[in-house]
Structure 1
Amino acid sequence: MEKLGKEMIGYCGGLPLAITILGGLLAAKQIEEWEDVLRRVKSYLYEQPDLRLTKVMGLSYDDLPCHLKPCFLYLAHFPEDFEIPRKELTRMWMGEGFISQIQRRGGREDTMEDVGERYLQELVQRCMVQVGKNGSLGKIRTCRIHDLMREFCVLKAQRENFLQITNIPSMEESNARIGKIRRLAINLESSDNYLEGIKFNKYPYLRSLLYFVPHDNNLYLKESHFKKIRLLRVLNLENCHYYCGNLPDDVGYLIHLRFLSLKNTKIEIVPSSMGNLKCLETLDLRSQEYGMKVPNVFKNMKQLRHLYLPIYYQVSEKLELSNLHYLQTLVNVIPESIHIPSSFIFNRLRSLRTTTFLNEWEWDSDVVQVVSSCPDIYKLNLHRLIKKLPKAHQFSPNLAKLTLWRTGLEEDPMATLEKLSNLKILRLLFNSFLGKNMVCSQRGFPLLQSLVLSELRYLEEWKVYEGAAPNLLHLEIRECWCLMTIPDGLSSITTLQKLEIHDMPKSFKDRLDKGGPDFYKVQHVPSLVFQQCDRE
């Protein structure tokens, strides 16, 4: 085995990327298959030894299973050095039909999202894709592709007529094979204030249309005549702006659309014609703009799995969501703005983020009803005044990540939250708790790995009993200005790897410094970070 490995490294000519890619290919093989790989390497490099890297990349691509080849070629859409969000990528794959649900042993059905994550992981393991950032729960958050691998990917995709990458001027000049194009990536970096719409009648078979626009831009698209591309399944308009803030009504002609991102488009009104998009699986309306008008267009979107609403939005009637039986992600929902029958259950919901208008400080039972209707949720963000948490049994037993912000809790939340047996990430942020005392009791938080206490301005005393949070790895304390000291019980949490103290009084920091009266509580922590702790 060692001899074979050295021989293959020799054929790579000492090129690090070639060695890495070949290593990824071998990792997917049994030892007895290595000789076959070596034979193929020799064959690929026999005629053109100067093209070692290209040939190794070609070998790696040819070795991909059929279901992974289109997933890899789809990466050619994204610009060089682009951090590709994992969720968006896998949902685009879903929209294109590259992923289908499968049955696993024991009869449990994987979701398409689960399958998509495995596809991406396999591309990473084969060293064809690199991990950019990991999320707090250990999943890939972003990925990227090496510049040279991207060049290969783009060339391969264009040769196979898989997609075209262009900008507006070059589109007007190019006529080659236009009618055959199935996927189009448009890079807009023009300084023009207004850009004419694309002549979409040239692209009748288009399935994916992805715009890539700088986040801060003054580009405005004119009406685009979507009805010319009725076979479209994936449409990404992120950061695009439309004149007068109106998305063209003819978006309603895109009845085959599965993925639609209008993130940061500054659209003021969602057209009612969007209700025709009955095949949508992902709809992203997130925007920082105030007061987007959202009509009740979701009731017929029975295939919708991921719905991202704007942070601030207006409704003329409550949004009907009870037909969305496949919904897994619901972000920025204002409970008062949606209609949920009392008996309705979001059986598949995994991620929920509630919010409220910042000047609306009223509380009712809607939040408890929404939380209780999500038995499988694993990520929950509550960004609104609720004053009192639901009971522990009303939370999903699968809940792994919880963020509270401006919830205005009057009672110690730890008494409830420490009973959530699968909770791994807890973030108590600005005014989530208004009390003075907080207690983590023995055997509480059995799986908690990360705890953030930020801007709890009234917190004075925090107690941690021995045996609490036995798996805690990361603790962050930020702007809790009345907190006098950290708990004694922290010294018994031997798993703690990193303690971050941000924007706390100097006296708080001095107590934790070496030689300070509280240093014994943290001397076992490998990484102790202080930032902006100079307040008197």
Structure 2
Amino acid sequence: MVLKRRADSQIKTCRIHDTLHEFCKTEAARQNLFREIMDGAKWGEVIIDKNTHRLCVNSSIMEFLKSGGKSSGDHVRSFLSSCSKEVEIPNECLQVIPKSFPLLRVMDVENLKFKVLPKQFYDLFHLRFVAVSTELKILPKSFSKFHNMQTLVFNTTQNSLDVKAEIWSMRKLRHVHTNTSMQLPLPPNTSKNNNNNSSSLGSTEIKTLSTISPSSCTSEILDMTPDLQKLGIRGNLVELMENKGGICLFDNIKKLDRLENLKLIHDALQGNKLRSFPEAGKFPRRLRKMTLSNTAFDWMDFNILALLYELEVLKLEENAFRGDICHVRNDAVFRQLQYLRIQRVDIVSWTASKDSFPVLKYLFLRNCTQLDAVPPAFGHIDSLILMELYCTNDSATQSALEIHRQRSATSAGLPIFQLSIYPPYRQDVVSNH
């Protein structure tokens, strides 16, 4: 059963019925495909069969760590922790997991918080996938030892992450995720005076970098990632978009010919305001998804986005645009846009024609508390199948209900249209407004 869908309507996660789930776990254990250690297990009595290669521990993880890893084995290749909430690991227990399972390839312990990573962790040379949470402000150089690493998820409590690891020499690395802003190192054998921006190592095959600092968007660094498909940039975006000495770092993003997903998050400080939205020609031509957060562009610049002809998904998060009025020009046509989400902006008046969004399927308006109405034109967009209003006001709610009535009256031959309103619509409150 589909549980979540991506913004482009593709399936993101699925679930199965509880009974079927229990059956699958039993069969997986019987066939030594997968072993789950349940709550209340006494680790001193747990025996892990030598044929067990994948091990999952839920909330009994602390019992395992305190046991000193008595139930361990060289045969375990994947270790996963599925605790429902974050667990802080005591210093005396830090080395238990890498010491107990020295041949791990997958270590998914994102819900466990390590203050530091034990030295035994860096002996897990076979690691391909790592998801870990720490209090570190640097990605240690020792990560360079993981030559088999393909996916790295590194969360930290710090405001930024200084990457000391030589990630350009990790030839199998494909995806790098973090919850903060990474400061990437310059590739070796490059300098500002070097006409050849590429490293002597050659380019990498990294496909995801999320998120990196604006200062990491240099030509030397982005020349190393020609296969990049997903990029997140977080920090003072003035540093990214303003010209300094005739150089604008944002110009380097256009060379990412395969980039499909771009996220821009502005950590605004007082006085660090973005002047204007970049010209459409500065964006990669294959861009399909874009997310803007806290950028506070003027709504007049919203029309520039229509010139990104491949754009299918647009997420305008908190304070992405500012101002009372958003007027979508008649000549601004979002040719491929199917998903539009606007949340936590101060917009009051919004005008648009149906021709501006010819293939739109999903419209989400969240926490737009000052919006006076949803443009009536959305009632004439035949492709629209879902409109969601979350924590808007009564006036916007009434306009959405009118669109729903209009679509219901002319629904012959059109896709089913759904309207979702939260909090639930109350006729007495709206009519008395």
- Contact kept, 8 Å, 1:442 with 1:465, in 2: the verdict is no
What CA distance in whole angstroms lies between the structure 2 residues aligned with 1:492 and 1:177? 62
State how far apart, in whole Å, the 2-side matches of 1:164 and 1:342 are.
42
Mapping of 1:39-58 within 5 angstroms? none
Q: Shift of the alpha carbon at 1:289?
A: 5.2
Give the Cα–Cα distance (whole angstroms) in 1 for the partners of residues 23 and 392 of structure 2: 50
The equivalent position to 1:206 in structure 2, one of 69, 76, 84, is 76
Deviation at 1:430, TM superposition (A): 1.8
Secondary structure at the residue paired with 1:332?
Answer: strand
Cα contact 2:122–2:145 (8 A) shared by 1:
yes
Aligned to 2:223: 344
**Mapped pair 1:368 → 2:240:** no
2:252 pairs with 1:378: no
Aligned length: 394
Alpha-carbon deviation of 1:145?
4.0
Secondary structure of the 1:412 match is helix
Change (3 A) 1:406 1:210: same
The one-letter amino acid paired with 2:256 is: C
Partners of 2:221 and 2:143 lie apart in 1 by 27
Residue-by-residue CA offset, 1:14-54 (whole Å, 9 max, x unaligned):
xxxxxxxxxxxxxxxxxxxxxxxxxxxxxxxxxxxxxxxxx
Tell me if the contact between 1:460 and 1:484 (Cα under 8 Å) persists in the aligned partners.
yes
Q: What code does the residue aligned with 1:330 have?
A: L
**Number of the residue aligned with 1:234:** 106
**TM alignment of 1:104-503, pairs within 5 A:** 130-166=1-37, 170-175=42-47, 177-178=49-50, 180-189=51-60, 195-199=66-70, 202-217=72-87, 220=90, 221-224=93-96, 226=98, 229-242=101-114, 245-262=115-132, 264-266=133-135, 270-287=139-156, 290-291=159-160, 294-311=163-180, 318=185, 320=187, 325-337=204-216, 340-341=219-220, 344=223, 346-356=225-235, 360=236, 362-365=238-241, 368-369=250-251, 371-384=253-266, 386-410=274-298, 412-435=300-323, 436-442=325-331, 444-457=333-346, 459-481=347-369, 483-503=371-391
Deviation at 1:488, TM superposition (A): 4.8
Tell me, in whole angstroms, the C-alpha distance in 2 between the residues paired with 1:488 and 1:150.
Answer: 46
> In the superposition, relative to structure 1, how do residues 172 and 370 fare at CA in structure 2: closer, same or farther (>3 Å)?
farther
CA displacement at 1:269 relative to structure 2: 5.2
Kindly state the Cα deviation for residue 440 of structure 1 after the two structures are TM-superposed.
4.3
CA contact (8 A) 2:37 2:60 kept: no
Structure 2 contact 303–332 (Cα < 8 Å) conserved:
no
> 1:319 deviation in Å?
6.0
Matched-pair contact (CA < 8 Å) for 1:226–1:251: yes
Provide the secondary structure at the position in 2 that maps to 1:399.
coil
Q: 1:282 to 1:377 in 2, by over 3 A?
A: same
Query: What displacement does 1:230 show?
Result: 4.1
Inter-partner Cα distance in structure 2 for 1:131 and 1:521? 27
Q: Sequence identity of aligned pairs in percent?
A: 24
Q: Give the SS at the match of 1:311.
A: strand
Matched-pair contact (CA < 8 Å) for 1:193–1:219: no
In 2 relative to 1, CA 275–257 (structure 1 residues): closer, same or farther, beyond 3 Å? same
1:476 alignment partner, SS class: strand
| TM-aligned CA deviation for residue 506 of structure 1 | 3.4
Structural RMSD (CA): 3.7
Q: How big is the shift at 1:291? A: 4.8
CA apart distance, 1:334: 1.5
Whether the 8 Å contact between 2:61 and 2:81 is mirrored in structure 1 is no
- Cα distance, 1:443 vs structure 2: 6.7
Cα distance in 2 for residues equivalent to 1:429 and 1:184: 38
d(CA) in 2 for partners of 1:475, 1:521: 15
2:6 alignment partner AA: G
Judge conservation of contact 2:217–2:249 (CA < 8 Å) in 1.
Answer: no
CA-CA distance at 1:400 after TM superposition = 2.3
The aligned residue for residue 527 of structure 1 is 418
- TM-score, normalization by structure 2: 0.76
Runs of 5+ consecutive residues of structure 1 not aligned to the other structure:
1-129
Measured after TM superposition, the shift of residue 345 of structure 1 is 6.1
CA distance in structure 1 between the partners assigned to 2:66 and 2:232 by the alignment: 35
In structure 2, how many angstroms separate the alpha carbons of the residues matched to 1:177 and 1:343? 46
The answer on whether the counterparts of 2:295 and 2:321 sit within 8 Å (CA) in structure 1 is yes
Q: Aligned pair in 2 of structure 1 residues 285, 479: CA closer, same or farther (>3 Å)?
A: same
Q: Is the 8 A contact 1:404 1:427 kept in 2?
A: yes
Q: CA deviation at 1:278?
A: 1.4
* Alpha-carbon distance in 2 for matches of 1:190, 1:252: 21
What corresponds to 2:191 in structure 1?
none
Task: Check conservation: 1:288, 1:312, Cα contact below 8 A.
Answer: no
Tell me the amino acid that sits aligned with residue 239 of structure 1: N
| 1:7-22 correspondence runs (5 A) | none
Matched letter for residue 239 of structure 2? W
**In structure 2, what is the Cα distance between the partners aligned to 1:176 and 1:465?**
64
Return closer, same or farther for 1:154/1:501 CA change in 2, 3 Å cut-off: closer
Q: CA deviation at 1:139?
A: 2.5
CA distance in structure 1 between the aligned counterparts of 2:212 and 2:408, rounded to whole angstroms? 40
The alpha carbon displacement at 1:211 in A equals 2.0
Deviations 1:377-404, CA, capped at 9 Å, x for gaps: 2222211265433332333333222211
Find the residue that maps to 1:310 and give its secondary structure. Answer: strand
Q: Please list the CA deviations of residues 61-118 of structure 1 after superposition, one character each: whole Å capped at 9, or x if unmatched.
A: xxxxxxxxxxxxxxxxxxxxxxxxxxxxxxxxxxxxxxxxxxxxxxxxxxxxxxxxxx
Amino acid at match of 1:463: T
Question: Structure 2: 5+ residue runs without aligned partners?
Answer: 189-198, 242-247, 269-273, 412-416
- Structure with bigger strand share is 2
SS at the partner of 1:364? helix
Shifted more, 460-469 versus 373-382: the winner is: 460-469
Counterpart residue identity of residue 198, structure 1: G
Q: Which secondary structure state, in structure 2, belongs to the residue aligned with residue 273 of structure 1?
A: helix
Corresponding residue of 2:244? none
Give SS of 2:55's match: strand
Alpha-carbon spacing, 1:460–1:342, altered in 2? closer, same or farther (3 Å): same
User: What TM-score comes out, normalization by structure 1 length?
Assistant: 0.63
Aligned pair in 2 of structure 1 residues 373, 295: CA closer, same or farther (>3 Å)? same
Rg bigger for which structure? Answer: 1
